[in-house]
Every structure is written in structure tokens, then in C-alpha cells.
Structure 1
Amino acid sequence: MVKLLIIADDFTGALDTGVQFAARGAATRVVTDLAYDFTLADAEVLVMVAETRHLPPEEAYDVVYRTARNAREAGIPYIYKKTDSALRGNIGSELTAVMDAAGSDTIAFLPAFPKMGRVTRNGVHYVDGVPVAESVFGKDPFEPVKASAVAQIVGGQTEVPVVLHRLDEAAVPGAPGIQVYDATTDEDLARIGGELGTERLRLSAGCAGFATALADVLGLNGTEPQMPQLPSAFFVACGSVNPVTLRQMRWAEQNGFVHIHLEPVQKLEPAWLESEDCGIKIRIWLEQARNSGRCILDVNDPMGLDDTAVYAKTHGLTTEDLRVRISTQLAHLMKRLLDGGLDAAILCTGGDTLLALMRTVGTAELTPVRELTTGAVLTNFVYRGKTYYIISKSGGFGEPDLFCKLVAFVRAGSQKEDAVC
């Protein structure tokens, strides 16, 4: 029976949160079907990809409310609302939805992820020492974060009171509302989780940062998973436009990766998928992947060019059109590559990319395996009877040499340990 339901606002966040439980041996599944029957799950921890980050607040509320209500009706005792570690999305409306569905007047919210440089101090959220609204997330082309005070962000999306808890205050809430906790270290998160205890954590929220502490408090553990044997080739499907990922790709290209930039028509026009040119490109890309062993298929324009923006303006495409079309098109290209025999560990950057791929190959369930490094999660899915290994990574995570480090993990897992970068 499911003991904990995690409701995630995007796919990569679902995986990097769920893997914190899988890594401790708790049977964990990640599902994308909002109509999933909770009573049929064969896991202790179930992660639902609600994909609400880009929805209007009212729609996000409805999705989360229905999911939380169904969980309660199925007898699931604990619900964790996974939120973005940079505070993007509909956090206030979604936390309110969980509270309303459970008939509760309080929920613990711990947004910090210290391992990734996200901390909350005096009610202000920081990314690598910079207030979040002044970081790269304040410049997000799809959903910029416009404030750094957690109460201002959350309070602007709900009428529920927001109650702040400083580090030197007791964790036990004294008034109803969304209880926001400061935390700057993993030890802070563990201490707060311990002070709140199992009863006050029946409803809680945060990102992957607090998931580790929650797993310990709830006693969700077992036999730790082993590293599976992986294909030695490494293929990146990049759907992220985050500057952090752009730096990682430049580093990888400078260290021997084949870097393929999709042209505007290739990433925006569905009709191109059926063209002879697409078939030719697929064969070329497969050959490049086989020969190089390290390949990037990238939706970003080459540095210094703005071909996509020009194309979008010429064809009357909105920012939302671009987001949806690009992720969908990249997913279809990846399916064509898999159907063509691509045999590689696949790194997907950006939650939209991974969700679109799962939908395109008709798979609604993934199994987290282990975290290769903070924020990069190895998972697997079955397509046409074959198990494929996917590494998921949020666009804003990781050092510049991350792709090279992940290749080393993959080569070690494939028992091929030659130098890579």
C-alpha cells in the first residue's frame, strides 16, 4: 500500500524528489497518468507528475485538489507537495489545494535545497547566495521569479495566511496557515523534520531538499538499489534554455561531444517529421551517436544567433507556442532515434522534454534507480519490450563539467572506464 504520495509540479522535480526515497530502498514509482488508481499501486512511495507549473493558478488548484482528494479517499496517510526549488509555478494555489482536500488549516513548507545552493534565510529565498529574483531564475524566459521573499511569492497566490519560522524559533506551528521554514543546511531540514514529527508531517511541501529528511522521519527505507549495467554511449536530449545548461553544453563540446543544433523548422514544424530530410537527418545522427559515443541534440540556437526568435516572429508563434512545440518535436525526434536503434544512456534536460518523450512513446510509469550526482537522477522505462535508462536533470542544476562527469558514471556502469573528458 502507498504510504506517501508526492504531487510534483514538473517531471524532473518528480524524479529528483522520488529518488531520495528509492535511494533508501523504499519501493518508489513515478507516474504521469492523473487518472491513476492509487489502490493498485505496488509501491510505498508514489510520485504523481501533475505538470502544473505552467498552468493558470485556478487550473493548477483543481488538478492538485483532485489528486490530493483521491489520495485521501484511497487511504494514503501522507502527502508531500513537491514545489520548484527556485519558487517558480503556482505554489500558493497548490499548497492551498492540498490543505483544502485534506480539510487541514496548516501545512509545513520547507523550500530549501542546500546541496544545490538554494537556502531560505529570514524568509528570503536565495540561489547560490543571490536572492532568487536576481538570479538566473529571475530571467526565466517562460516564467521569471519576480520576488525573493517567500511570503510575497506564496501570499500573492492564496488568501491562506503565510507564517514564517526563523531558524531560532520552534518548529511547531502556533497559528494556522502555510508554515514557511528557514533552512540553510541539511542539518536544519533534518532538525525541523524531527521536531515536527510524523503527525504534523501528514501534509508537507518543499523540493528534493526536504525529501531526505522526510524519508528518515517516516521510516521509508529498505535495501539500497545497485547500479545497473548501462550502455556505454551517452546521448543528450536538451530541451532546456537555462544558462546553466548552456554552459554545460559548451564545456562538453569543448571536450569532444558532438553538438547538433536543431534548426527552427526541425524543432517547430510537425510536418518536417514526415519529410525525406528528417529521415536522412535521423540516419546521420544515429551514425554520429554510434561513432562518437557522446552526442548532444540541442534545441538552442548556436551562440550569437537568434534564428528561432526570428522564425517565431515571422510565423506568429507565442512564447507558450515555442515551449510546447519544441518539447513535443524533440520528443518525436527521440522516438525516431530509439526506433532507429539508438543504444545509449539518455540525458534529458528539462521536465517538459522528458514528459513529452514519455507521452510520445506511450509510457506512463518510470522507476527511479539512484541519484548519480545531486539533481541528476537515473531512472528507467520500458518501450517496445526494451528497458531504456534515462538521466533527468533540471535546467538550472549542475557545474559546467556535469555532462563529462555523467559520462564517467555511465562508463563505470557499463564497465567501460576509458577516459572521457
Structure 2
Amino acid sequence: MPTLGAIADDFTGATDLATMLVSRGFRTLVAIGADAVETEAVAGADAVVVALKSRTAPVGEAVADSLAALRALRAAGCSRYYFKYCSTFDSTPRGNIGPVIDALLDAVPADRTVVAPSFPATGRTVRDGLLYVHGEPLDQSPMRHHPLTPMTDASVERLLRPQTGHPVRHVPLDTVRAGADELRAAVDCADAAGALVVVDAVTDEDLRTVSAATAHLALVTGAAGLALGLTGPRPGAARATPASRPGDPAVVLSGSASAATRAQVAHGRTRLPHRKLDIAALRADLPGAVAELAAFAREQWRRDPGLPPLIYAVEDLADLEQSTPEGEAPASDLIERALAALAVDLVEHGARRLLVAGGETSGAVVTALDVRGLAIGAPICPGVTWARADGERPSVDLALKSGNFGDTDIFTEAWSTLV
């Protein structure tokens, strides 16, 4: 029976956290939505991560979905909870991070929690309450230009205050480095009663200290890095066996506009057969455009089964600057729908290995494939892993990549870890 229940606000984040938990000795299941947390399915797990598509949903919907996940996790036997959001604290001025934390605190119930978005392995650190991305303040990083959640402030406290009804406090790095006892005292002090406590962390060791100091809290919140300090009951927990075999048809589906993914697309275009989504064609005839892309991918498999075709949406931010005709869906919606429909078509025609780039795209693909659960397999790089996707359709191996994660060559090199 699981004891740790986690709620992730997007699908890439769910696999990110689950990978960390597996490495810490937790037998971990990723459930796609609250309805997939079935008692029989999770009975053999130590931890369950519920993957939601709530990061950019309307606030009320995000809160409702998160509370449904909490109820499902509690019914499955979980007694401690972890709200996982992106290490770049992706949110709008109204949320959804603050409103979801508030709702979870009330429902657990708990009188305080920590806010720890640091994940040094992926270049995310917090010092003096400011969030840095590879050494740049968040508001000076490429996240400033994110099409859905542009981050124009690096202060986690300032970002949170308009989103929450709780006071927001900050614990500096020198307190963290004074040790777990000192940090726990700072979190438990009267001044932090009812508060969201933003905690500095610059190194993995800092995060281990944060985790140790907050082991008594019923709810913690943060990026996947906070799990570094957790110790599961089964060190060396086995990874899931792959659903595919070497040589099975594979494809890269990239809907992300992030700077990291655009560099990965540029690299992939020099080495992989590729096609770019045509937004005008999708507006005119989405099913027809998807059918043409599917035919292209299948032809590439016939020519060279070992070379995955790359289907991508964005190579330059100018691609997103096209005006949306009045009454028409925005480009981002068309991209998600097209790549999700393409994934279904390709799986029906034999694809068994899919690398998907972008949190929203990953959510759309997983939903379209009717995936119920993800069993964590081989890691690719910090924050990205292979997972066996099980559901009504044939099982496939999925790598769900956050737009900001991964080395430049991930589209060509990820396959070597899938054994």
C-alpha cells in the first residue's frame, strides 16, 4: 500500500518526480488522473504520482482536479502528500500554484508547508528568495518569453503573494546550511504559522537538508529535486521493463516553443527526417494534414526503421506570432490536437517508441492514447525518463520531456538508453 501520494500539475512533471522517487527506492506508479488511482492497481506501490493537466487550466478547474487527486490518494492509503510543480515556477499572476497549495493545505489539513522549486541538476536554484535558471534570474531567462506562462519576476515570494490567502515567508540559505534542526525550527516557528515558506537551496545537499527538516510536514511542495532527501523502503527498486524492442518504429513529436527544445529541434533537423507542422494547413483541414504527416512518418520507417522521424511545431518564436483569425482556435491548441491525433494514428500503425517534447503536448498525447498508468523505466537525463504506458491501446514506451529539459542531442540519443 502506498504511503506517499504526489500530485503533479503536468505529465512531464509527473514522470520527472516519479523518476526521482524510483531512484530513491520507492516502487512508483504514475496514474493519469484521479480516476486511475485504483486500489488494486496501486496496491504494490510505495508511492503514487497523479499526473494532471492543470498547470495552465482555469484556476477553479486546477483546484478541483487537485482536490480530486488528493481524495483518491487518501483512499488508496497515502498519509503524506507532495504537490509537484515546475522548477521554473510556471504560473500566471492568478495561479495556479498558490490556489492549489491553499486548497491542499485546507484539505489535508495542514497549517503550513514549504515552497522549494530548486532542482540543481537541471540548473534551477533559489538564493535570497530569487529563482535562477542556469545562473540567470528567472525573469532574464528564456522563461520570460514563454507563450503560456511568461515569467517576469524572479522573486518566488512576489510571485506567490497575489496567488495565496496565506502569508508567505522566506528562509535564507545560511539557515538551511546550519543544518536540518535549525531549518526545522525556522519552519516550525510561530512566525511561520499558516505560511507558505519559501526555502533557499542551491545544491543537492541543500535539498537533502530541506527534505530532512520537513519530514514531519503532511504536505510539501516543490520541484522534483525536493525528493532527493527522501528514503524509500526499497533501495535499488527495479525499473519497469520496456514495452518495445530495439528497431521498433519510433517518432519524435515536439510541440514546445522553449529555447531548449528549439535547439534540440535544430540539432534533430540535421540528423533525422523531419516535417514541420503547417498551422495554415491545420486550420484548413486538420485531419487531412495529420494524415499527410502520418504517411510521411510511416514512409520513413519503411526506409530506415532505426531512424525516428521528427515532427515539430516551432523552430523560431516568430512561428507563434501569426495572428489568430477571429473565432478560430489559437495555434497552440491546433498543435496539441494535431500531435495528439498523430500519436494515435502512428501507434495504430505500429509505433512503439514516442519521445514527446512539451508539457501541454505530452498531456494531449497521453490523453489521446487513453493511457491509464505509466511505469517508470530507464532515465535519459535529469528530469526525463522512459516510461511504459499502459492503457486500452497497445503498450508503448513514452519519454515525456519538459520543454526546458534535456541536452541538445536528446532527440537522437535518447533511444540508446531504452534497453
Range into which the TM-score falls when normalised by the shorter chain: 0.7 to 0.9
Residue 226 of structure 1: how far off its partner (Å): 6.8
Tell me by how many angstroms 1:383 deviates: 5.5
SS in 2 for 1:31: strand
Q: 2:318 & 2:308 partners in 1: Cα distance?
A: 24
Structure 2 residue 334 is the aligned partner of structure 1 residue 340: no
For residue 212 of structure 1, the aligned residue among 215, 228, 231 is 228
Distance 2:368 2:290 in 1: 17
In the alignment of these two chains, the number of paired residues is: 397
- Cα 1:401–1:12 change in 2 (3 A) is same
Output one character per residue of 1:27-79: Cα deviation in whole Å (capped at 9) or x when no partner.
21112233345544222211112222112333323332343245345542110
Distance 1:363 1:66, change over 3 A: closer
> Which range is displaced more, 85-94 or 227-236?
227-236
Q: CA deviation at 1:279?
A: 3.9
2:278 maps to what in 1?
A: 263
2:116 to 99, 110, 129: 110
Partner Cα separation in structure 2 for residue 220 and residue 266 of structure 1: 51
Corresponding residue for residue 163 of structure 1: 169
Q: Which residue of structure 2 aligns with residue 249 of structure 1?
A: 265
* Inter-partner Cα distance in structure 2 for 1:351 and 1:267: 21
Distance 1:63 1:342 in 2: 31
Alpha-carbon contact 1:15-1:368 (below 8 Å) kept: yes
Distance 1:375 1:290 in 2: 32
Q: Is the 8 A contact 1:22 1:370 kept in 2?
A: no
Give, in angstroms, the shift of residue 385 of structure 1: 6.0
- Residue from 139, 147, 152 that aligns with 1:141: 147
Contact 1:16 1:371 in 2 (8 A): no
Counterparts in 2 of 1:27 and 1:268: CA distance versus 1, 3 Å: farther
- 1:204 is aligned with what amino acid? V
Q: Is the 8 A contact 1:268 1:326 kept in 2?
A: no
The secondary structure found in structure 2 opposite 1:79 is strand
CA distance in 1 between counterparts of 2:391 and 2:38 reads 23
- Report the AA paired with residue 26 of structure 2: A
After superposition, give the CA deviation of every residue in 1:207-234 in whole Å (9 maximum; x if it has no partner): 11112223x2x54645332774643354
1:219-368 alignment, distance < 5 Å = 219=233, 221-225=235-239, 228=242, 230-232=245-247, 234-254=250-270, 256-268=271-283, 271-273=285-287, 275=288, 278-292=290-304, 293-300=307-314, 306=319, 309-310=321-322, 312-314=323-325, 316-317=327-328, 321-343=330-352, 345-368=353-376
Residue 409 of structure 1: aligned partner = 417
How far the C-alpha of 1:7 sits from its partner, in A, is 0.4
The 3 A distance-change label for structure 1 pair 268 and 103 is: same
Partner of 1:419: none
Give the structure 2 partner of residue 369 of structure 1.
Answer: 377
Q: In percent, how many aligned pairs have the same letter?
A: 27
2:179 is aligned to: none
Q: Which amino acid aligns with 1:115?
A: A
Q: Which residue of 2 aligns with 1:392?
A: 400
Q: Provide the rounded CA distance (Å) in 1 between the counterparts of 2:35 and 2:221.
A: 22
For 1:132 and 1:241, the matched residues in 2 are separated by 17
Does 1:13 find its partner at 2:13? yes
Q: How far, CA to CA, are the matches of 1:268 and 1:338 in structure 2?
A: 24
Q: Does 1:58 align with 2:60?
A: yes
- Deviation sequence 1:152-198 (CA, Å, 0-9, x none): 1111200201111112212111121112110000011112222333x
Letter of the 2:349 counterpart: G
Hey, what's the Cα distance between the residues in 2 that align with 1:130 and 1:382?
39
The superposition leaves residues 211-258 of structure 1 with CA deviations (integer Å, 9 ceiling, x where unpaired) of: 2223x2x5464533277464335421101111210111111222x211
**Could you report, residue by residue, the CA deviation over 1:138-162 in whole angstroms, capped at 9, with x for unpaired residues?**
1101111121111111112002011
Structure 1 residue 103, shift from structure 2 partner: 2.0
Q: Counterpart of 2:178?
A: none
What do the CA deviations read for 1:58-101 (whole angstroms, capped 9, x no partner)? 33233323432453455421100001110112111111111111
Partner of 1:183: 201
Q: Aligned-pair distance for 1:9?
A: 0.6
After TM superposition, the score normalised by the length of structure 1 is 0.87
Distance across 2 between alignment mates of 1:405 and 1:30 = 25
- Match of 1:416? none
Residue identity in the other structure for 1:409: T
Q: What letter corresponds to residue 394 of structure 1 in structure 2?
A: S
| Secondary structure at the counterpart of residue 99 of structure 2 | helix
Q: Which runs of 5+ in 2 are unaligned?
A: 176-181
TM-score normalized by the length of structure 2? 0.87
Shift of the alpha carbon at 1:278?
5.0
Indicate conservation of the 8 Å contact 2:240/2:375, yes or no.
Answer: no
Distance in structure 1 (CA, Å) of the matches to 2:376 and 2:281: 31
Deviations 1:304-347 (A, max 9, x none): 974x644x5335446xx33233212211111111212234x211
| Runs of at least 5 residues in structure 1 that lack an aligned partner in the other structure | 414-421
Residue 267 of structure 1 and its aligned partner are, at CA, apart by 4.0
Q: Structure 1 CA distance, aligned partners of 2:291 and 2:64? A: 42
* AA matched with 1:239: G
Distance in 2, Cα, partners of 1:408 & 1:397: 18
Structure 1 residue 409 displacement after superposition: 2.8
Residue 303 of structure 1, CA deviation? 5.1
Give the aligned partner of residue 73 of structure 2.
Answer: 71
Of the structure 1 ranges 241-250 and 62-71, higher mean CA displacement relative to structure 2 is found in 62-71
